[in-house]
């Protein structure tokens, strides 16, 4: 049988691995955008793509404020670091 390795345990482990890769890539892109914005003397960036819940949690954990203006299937997040 070709898919004998596919078990619930394998699926959970593989899903977690893939999520970690996605979150890492999302964070790298966003943090680079933040760095560019700071260099341009801005205090926010806008994100118009869907992000993983874990990515948003990591950004909040780092102290960023996330304002969600998404509606009707479009994504519109404002990420700020000043009050």
Burial classification of residue 30, based on how many CB atoms lie within 10 Å of its CB (0-12 exposed, 13-18 middle, 19 or more buried): buried
pLDDT for 72 equals 86
pTM: 0.85
Question: Tens digit of pLDDT for each residue in 26-81?
Answer: 999 999 999 999 999 999 999 999 999 999 999 999 999 999 998 888 899 999 99
Helix (H, G, I), strand (E, B) or coil at 39: helix
| Domains, in order of start, for the chain | 8-80 (3.30.1370)
């Amino acid at each position: 049988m070709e898919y004998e390795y596919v078990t619930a345990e394998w699926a959970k482990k593989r899903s977690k691995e893939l999520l970690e890769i996605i979150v890492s890539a999302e964070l790298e892109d966003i943090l680079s955008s933040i760095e560019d914005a700071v260099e341009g003397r801005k205090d926010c960036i806008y994100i118009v793509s869907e992000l993983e819940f874990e990515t948003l949690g990591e950004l909040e954990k780092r102290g960023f404020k996330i304002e969600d203006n998404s509606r009707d299937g479009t994504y519109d997040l404002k990420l700020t670091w000043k009050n």
